[in-house]
Structure 1
């Protein structure tokens, strides 16, 4: 059964979502956890305590948050499992619809990506 990673990107510092979205998400996630679709997930704190390790030209440098240049951050994630890509896309649409309905003043991007079950084979 294909697995997917869902991400929610939004503006940093947009504020706390309304209670109605929390309530709707509790029901949404509860249904999907019960039927085996939702495997794990959660919200993320802001970038004030984030740490990035940047690899460039064979060297590693550490950059601590907050990041003044960050306009959009990942605010939440989920690991999901569906019978098909079509089912995953339809459910991600329902997830985005919940946000549009309960938090219309926020701009978010709900991204869905399929998880590779096998590592890629190196070229050469």
Structure 2
């Protein structure tokens, strides 16, 4: 069964989501977990304590947050499994719709990517 990773990107420092979004997400994630779709996930703290290791020209350098150059940051993630890409896309749209309904004043980008189990292309 194909696995997918979902990311939620949004502007940093915009405040906490409304309680209604937390409540709706609890219900949605509970339903997805009961179906065996939602495997793991969670929210992320801000970039103030983030650490990047940048590899450039064969050298590794450490860059500590916060990152002034980043307007959008990943604020949450999930690992899910679906029978098909079409099912995964449909559920990611429902997930995005929860944000539109409960936090309409914020721009959120909900990204879905298939997890690779090897060198093959998606759908192989």
> TM-score normalised to the size of structure 2?
0.95
Unaligned runs of 5+ in 1: none
Separation in structure 1 between the aligned mates of residue 31 and residue 88 of structure 2, nearest angstrom? 15
Equivalent position SS for 2:97: helix
Aligned to 2:58: 58
- 1:42 is aligned to 42
1:26 aligns with 2:35: no
Is 2:81 the partner of 1:87? no
3-state SS of 1:42 partner:
strand
Per the TM alignment, residue 119 of structure 1 is displaced from its structure 2 partner at its CA by: 3.9
Q: For residues 115 and 79 of structure 1, what CA distance do their matches in structure 2 show? A: 9
What runs of 5+ residues in structure 2 fail to find an aligned partner?
Answer: none
User: 1 CA distance for matches of 2:3 and 2:47?
Assistant: 27
Q: Kindly tell me the number of residue pairs found equivalent between the two proteins.
A: 120
